[in-house]
Amino acid sequence: MKLTSIPQIYRHVGRWYEILEVLSKYGVAAWVGRLGPDFAKDLLKARGGGAIARHPWETRLRMAMAELGPTFIKLGQMLSTRPDLVGVRLAEEFQHLQANVPADSSALVHKLIESEFGRPTTALFAHFEPEAMASASIGQVHRARLHTGEAVVVKVLHADIERKVAVDMDILAGLALMAEMVPEFRNYRPQAIVAEFHRAMRRELDFGREERNIQQFAHDFARDPTVHIPKTYPALCSRRVLTMELLEGIKLSEGGRLAAAGIDTEEIARRGAAICLKMIFDNGFYHADPHPGNLLVMEQSRIGLLDFGMVGRIDERLHEALGEMLVALGNFDAEHMTAMILRLGKAPSDLDRSALTLDVADFLSYYASQSLDRFDLSGALNEIMEQIRRYQIMLPARIVMLLKALITLEGTARQISPKFSLVEMIRPYRKKLVWRRFSPRRRLRKLHRLYSELEHLVDILPQGIADVLEQMQGGRFDIHLDHRGLEPSVNRLVLGLLASSLFVGSAMLLSFKVPPPLFGISAPGLAAAVVSVALGLRLWRAISKSGHLDRKKRD
């Protein structure tokens, strides 16, 4: 594929220029950081004023994405949940991506709300604060009060954000196509990553989906007095506007306020973790970003949850896989654990399974020696993710999201209670998962699913066989074979035949001294000899570069 065949190259030229300008600035900073004099490292500045060249490359990449705007910030935040793709260090760096996006003017906000509901803001709210209490990459939040007296927060999309995201997504699709041309990047499936990111951005830009998430959590915890899910107001919600109850409390990120209020942080850590583990292992629908800013302590030590844009789901098959992995972990069975990793992920064709099993065995033996109160679950999960990335195993996004949620959950709990052990709280769920795996109800559901699939196969099989027989009788039955790697071999064979025949022809022309002569030598013969030698050298170089010139077959 040629660059000229990528239509995204020609569209959005202005935005392409902005992106290339930022990337070139950070690229020059990387060169200065490695080779330039010390005084030059302070010349190139980031948007915030910091010297770019004095930061490691992970930080420079994070700063570049922050400067490129909301779409690239969201891309970095998504990649922070994929350490299996970008590595643990870069994923941790992307976690610090924050959007310092200026809030839209009050006039633009009022115009958007009125366009969504067909009524002026004063008719919808008794009071609407013109100043935004927070502004992120996609939208901003305002305090308001309904005519019935309830205090609410109103989340609105930024003006023109959908068009800007559409332009950047088109450019990212073009970049992914170019990345597919590079063998080093092809293994990371850039087009699949961009497609996954596109789906995530569509969900982010639809506040109606977040409203449905809140309603699902409210249903799941309707009878749990320890957790509070904010109430939504459907009449004041749309795809671009979300109105929900204002929660008052102390966020877990505010350690000083928690201590001043005399709150038992150890109990809060256990209660918050219990809520999240119940979502994961019991409900199968969980908050995928339980960082300290999204959990707050309310009256009577209830846990309030915020920001329901990122959620995960666990189906029955994933529950089964989790049960098997916990069994393998409990038995320190490296072979079983390796089999589960390969069953869940997509491994490259040249995977060294014995080396992977050995690394998994070392991993299990190291963490098996740790006591329960000192067990570092985050470190263990990060290490196994780094091993998976090193062996280029592609895990499904939902698996990585779950592991990332567990890592975030343990970090949040240990921030307010350093002695907290998430492994200790997960242990009871291990037995529940094993019992669920062998429960009669689950076996009956599995048999019913198998029966349905077999019934469908029996329905379509006779017609399929009849179609094949009809095609064979009519002479229209074709078998398409994909000859991978055959085309370069054929090209080399043709080039070799051409070079050898041209060399023989040049020898005949030289021996018969075919005119016109050049210094007493046949000019056509000399030209043919030079071309044949050049073709031979090119063929020899191509074969040598491929590494298959004289490699012996191993037994």
Contact in structure between 422 and 377 (CB atoms under 8 Å) = yes
Residue found by looking up tokens 């992977």 in the block: 356
CA 201 from centre of chain: 12
Token couple for 503: 């060399």
Question: Which residues lie below 8 Å from residue 250, measured CB to CB, with a gap of 6+?
Answer: 257, 258, 261, 263, 296, 297
What integer pLDDT is reported at residue 1 of this predicted model? Answer: 47
What integer pLDDT is reported at residue 27 of this predicted model? Answer: 62
319 and 433 both lie in a single domain: yes
What integer pLDDT is reported at residue 188 of this predicted model? Answer: 64
Residue 91 in any domain: the answer is yes
Structural domain ending residue among the three candidates 55, 84, 99:
99
Distance CA 246, CA 221 (A): 18
What integer pLDDT is reported at residue 555 of this predicted model? Answer: 42
Residue 172 in any domain: the answer is no
434 and 352 both lie in a single domain: yes
Token couple for 334: 């490296």
435 and 494 both lie in a single domain: no
414 and 522 both lie in a single domain: no
Q: Judge whether residue 385 has pLDDT over 70.
A: yes
Residue 188 in any domain: the answer is no
Question: Which residues lie below 8 Å from residue 302, measured CB to CB, with a gap of 6+?
Answer: 225, 226, 227, 228
User: What value does the mean pLDDT take over residues 126-140?
Assistant: 90
Q: What is the band of 115 on the pLDDT scale with cuts at 50, 70, 90?
A: very high
Q: Judge whether residue 487 has pLDDT over 70.
A: no
Which is more confidently placed, 122 or 382? 122
Please state, for a pLDDT cut of 90, what percent of the chain lies above it: 20
428 and 358 both lie in a single domain: yes
348 and 426 both lie in a single domain: yes
Q: Please name the residue ranges forming H helices in 43-189.
A: 57-68, 70-79, 83-86, 88-94, 106-117, 121-124, 161-180, 183-186
Q: Judge whether residue 517 has pLDDT over 90.
A: no
User: What value does the mean pLDDT take over residues 456-463?
Assistant: 86
**Other C-beta atoms lying within 10 Å of the C-beta of residue 198:** 14
11 and 87 both lie in a single domain: yes
83 and 24 both lie in a single domain: yes
432 and 494 both lie in a single domain: no
Residue 492 in any domain: the answer is yes
328 and 429 both lie in a single domain: yes
Contact in structure between 243 and 232 (CB atoms under 8 Å) = yes
Distance CA 418, CA 374 (A): 10
Least confident of 205-219, 250-264, 335-349, 487-501: 487-501
Distance CA 23, CA 125 (A): 45
Token couple for 209: 């989906």
Residue 411 in any domain: the answer is yes
What integer pLDDT is reported at residue 229 of this predicted model? Answer: 94
What integer pLDDT is reported at residue 365 of this predicted model? Answer: 82
Q: What is the band of 144 on the pLDDT scale with cuts at 50, 70, 90?
A: very high
User: What value does the mean pLDDT take over residues 13-34?
Assistant: 66
Residue 468 in any domain: the answer is no
Residue 554 in any domain: the answer is no
Q: Is the peptide bond before 515 cis (omega within 30 degrees of 0)?
A: no
Q: Judge whether residue 210 has pLDDT over 80.
A: yes
Distance CA 281, CA 285 (A): 9
Structural domain ending residue among the three candidates 82, 99, 116:
99
In the chain, how many H helices and how many E strands? Answer: 22, 13
Count of domains for the chain: 3
Which is more confidently placed, 354 or 395? 354
The residue segments making up the domain with residue 73 are 3-99
What integer pLDDT is reported at residue 40 of this predicted model? Answer: 47
Beta bridge partners of 394: 346
435 and 539 both lie in a single domain: no
Q: Give the mean pLDDT of the chain.
A: 81
Which is more confidently placed, 26 or 117? 117
What integer pLDDT is reported at residue 292 of this predicted model? Answer: 87
Structural domain ending residue among the three candidates 44, 72, 99:
99
Amino acid identity, residue 39?
F
Distance CA 187, CA 219 (A): 42
What integer pLDDT is reported at residue 550 of this predicted model? Answer: 53
436 and 321 both lie in a single domain: yes
Q: Is 135 helix (H, G, I), strand (E, B) or coil?
A: strand
Angle at 91 between CA 85 and CA 92, to 5 degrees: 155
Residue 516 in any domain: the answer is yes
